[in-house]
Amino acid sequence: MLDFIRKNLKTTFICAAFIVSCSFLNFSVYNASNFKKPVFIENNTKKLISILDKSIQIADSTINAEKLNQLQSSYFIARKYYKQIECFIEYCSPFDAKYFINGPLVKKSDLEIGTRIVDPHGFQVIEEQLFGVDSIDGSLLLIELKLLKESFKAFESKLNNVTINDSQIIEMMQFELIRMSALTLSGYDASFTKTNSEECKNVFEGFRALLHDVKLKNQEKGYPVELHQKLISRLKLAENYCVLHKDYDSFNRIFFITQHIKPIYKLLVKIHQTELFPYTQVDYAINLNNEHIFEREYYNINYFTIKTNDTLGNPLQAKLGELLFFDPVLSGNNKRACASCHKPELAFTDGFKKGISFEKDSLDRNTPTLLNTVFQKNFFYDGRARQLEQQANDVLHNQREMNSSIEQMIDKLNQSEEYQSLFKKSFKGTADTNINYYGILKAITEYEKQLVSMNSRFDKYIKGDYKQLNTQEINGYNLFSGKALCGSCHFFPLFNGLVPPIYNDTEYEVIGVPEQINSKQIDKDKGRIIVSRVHIHQHAFKTPSIRNIQLTAPYMHNGIYKTLEEVIDFYNKGGGQGLGVNIPNQTLPFDSLRLSKKEINDIKAFMLTLTDTTGITQKPKKLPRFNDDKLNHRVIGGEY
């Protein structure tokens, strides 16, 4: 794509501007009688365009040491202005932010753009050229500066057509606090300059400017001045903390989240809950009216699943689903259940390197945990299923797993009066209370949605019980989200690959896992490419959750690592490339993390604090009886 851009520079800018413009057409437009275009947003955008214009002039010639210093200084100023309005741009134009302004340094190919592959563009590419390479690619730098300028010019021209009310201003700040906690503090951007604490300070400065505008527009309408003053004081305290703690590696992220981000978020919610600022009627992944950020109640479970009308029976359906989950009657030989591969005592994994098949040989991949599986938008390591119901359907029909059919399952279940009664009660009030395939899938997924694990020692600490973690574990989290870069893929606080704060984008990474523990040969599993048919997804796999990792060994999609120490060592050495595996499209940085033995032990200690299976490991005491006595000798959870 770079060669194409160099040859067709003018055309590329026109196309980029068109794509940027088109993304604005998808805005949700709200009527707001008191709407006034935020002057602060407009001014910062103009400043960004001006700075980029000057940088383009400097870069449009041979870059010597003096010009490099000028470009670096201009970069920091531009980042300051951008971070001050990042919440606005990310809220109003997430497509542009992701693909043109501040996307990560990896090629992208997502459902929203089909099978096209998009090179990284924006600030992070510019940062790499200015701070992360031995020799600057002058033509690439110039191209990126011009593209970024065009992106902000398009944003400026569209500001006149975007209607944003004050409720949305508050909501975009809420989203930004989640983004800060999960991405900014974890090295998702500013990965070379490591100015993350400074950028947090810039975000808070932007908040204060936006809040000042909201206050001025509403001060004669009963605006909560006391809450506003408390919020401004909190923001200044957080800014001071960032000024005093600039070192990226030693920054105490967990302290910053609990003592600064959470109180700020709580005050924003309290202001939002006043009559002046009604909530935007959008089905988000998070409940914006819940002040308990990062806790279980904060997440909107229904966002992650298929919407249905028969919600009144969900508790009964979940109990029915539990029986079906542990009942081998759904399999072709009445000997295998969902619980055969997802054992509650092993955090709903099976403890094997790879799963056991219907014919008792090995399946192709390691069995993932089902705990917190609801907090996903794609299922299986290759992401081929888009809903929990589809995941269950694929397993039930798979000849190597359950080896059954719709007709077989329904026919057998209808031979049980108990199951007939359970289906009638669970789906009472719906159009069809008979045993049917929809009911089977719905019941199983309602049960799986109950398997939420967010009450670990780490969660209790985040909630305010600061006796839960010791110094080693706190240091381990700060390393995990800092120097070790783990948190840039396993996003806080779900610690999977679903990208906050919108939670609609699943990350797939190429980390270069070898076929054997001491091999330099890449594993033969091709991963995501089987689904996407896009070459950058060769050997790419969905980023799994590390919650309950203490119970889910062995690790990786092929189960080659038996211990956490082996896993951390793999990453510490730079993944597959660091081990000498030929994997040119690796997305993981392939240089050593240079973690000491103490640091490795600290990271492990943190990960062990994420263990929580409280109240979700119970099995049914008995299974429903059948008219056919041959079916009444089934083993709860399956025989193998």
Question: Cβ(173)–Cβ(90) under 8 Å?
Answer: no
- Taking the alpha carbons at both ends of the chain, their separation in whole angstroms is 51
Q: Are 382 and 530 in contact (CB under 8 A)?
A: yes
3-state secondary structure (DSSP) of residue 527: strand
Separation between Cα atoms, residue 202 and residue 197, nearest integer Å = 9
| Bond before 493 cis per omega within 30 degrees | yes
pLDDT at 311 (0 to 100): 65
CA distances, 316 to each of 25, 320, 511, 529 (Å): 43, 6, 42, 39
- Report if pTM > 0.85: yes
C-alpha of 93 from chain center = 18
Predicted pLDDT at 310: 62
| Residue 509 per-residue DSSP state | E
Buried b (16+ CB within 10 A) or exposed e, 328-347: bbbbbebebbbbbbbbbebb
Say what angle helices 65-92 and 39-59 make with each other, to 10 degrees: 150
Tell me how far apart the alpha carbons of residues 82 and 76 are, in angstroms, rounded to a whole number: 10
Q: What is the DSSP letter of 356?
A: B
Separation of alpha carbons 365 and 355, rounded Å? 6
Nearest Cα to Cα of residue 170 among 65, 291, 269: 269
**Residue 13 has what pLDDT?**
39
**What is the amino acid identity at position 5?**
I
17, 149 Cβ separation under 8 angstroms: no
Instruction: Give the CA distances from residue 606 to residues 56, 61, 140, 457, 481, in Å, rounded to whole numbers and listed in that order.
Output: 45, 49, 40, 10, 11
Q: Which of 441, 353, 351 is nearest to 395 (CA)?
A: 441
Residue type present at position 215: K
Distance, CA of 341 to CA of 350 (rounded, Å) = 5
Q: Locate all alpha helices (DSSP H) within 183-261, ordered by sequence.
A: 196-218, 225-244, 253-256
Residues in contact with 55: Cβ distance below 8 Å, sequence separation at least 6, in sequence order: 71, 74, 75, 78, 145
Contacts (Cβ under 8 Å, ≥6 apart) of 101: 82, 89, 121, 122, 123, 148, 151, 152
Pair 269, 291: CB distance under 8 Å: yes
Hey, what are 388's tokens?
């929990």
User: What pLDDT sits at residue 1?
Assistant: 37
Q: What is the mean pLDDT of each run of 10 residues along the chain (640 residues)?
A: 39 40 38 61 97 97 95 98 97 93 90 81 97 95 98 92 91 98 94 96 98 94 96 98 96 97 98 95 93 93 76 87 98 97 97 96 96 94 92 94 95 97 93 92 95 97 97 98 95 96 94 94 96 94 97 97 97 95 90 94 98 94 94 96
User: What pLDDT is recorded for position 10?
Assistant: 38
Number of H helices, E strands in the chain: 24, 2
Residue 550's contacts (CB-CB under 8 Å, 6 or more residues apart) are: 564, 607, 608, 610, 611
How far apart CA 461 and CA 474 sit, in angstroms, is 10
Per-residue confidence (pLDDT) for residue 116, from 0 to 100: 86
Tell me if residue 94 falls in helix, strand or coil: helix
pLDDT at position 606: 98
- Strand-pairing partners, residue 540, are 527
Nearest to 79 by CA among 97, 54, 102: 102
Query: Please, which residues have CB within 8 angstroms of residue 192's CB and are 6 or more apart in sequence?
Result: 127, 128, 131, 132
The answer to whether the Cα torsion of 122, 123, 127, 130 is positive or negative is positive
The pLDDT of residue 114: 72
Q: In Å, what is the CA distance from 538 to each residue of 104, 440, 512, 525, 570?
A: 19, 35, 10, 9, 20
SS (H, E, C) 306-361: CCCCCHHHHHHHHHHHHHHHHCHHHCCCCCCCHHHHCEHHHCCECCCCCCECCCCC
3-class DSSP state of 237: helix
d(CA 325, CA 447): 8
DSSP letters for 29-85: ----TT----HHHHHHHHHHHHHHHHHHHHHSS---HHHHHHHHHHHHHHHHHHHHH
Which residue in 68, 60, 75, 74 sits closest to 9, CA to CA?
Answer: 60
- Distance (Å, whole) CA 363 – CA 341: 11
Q: 476: part of which helix (H) or strand (E)?
A: helix 471-481
Q: How many residues are there in the chain? A: 640
Residues 109 and 534: beta-carbon distance below 8 Å: yes
pLDDT of residue 289: 95
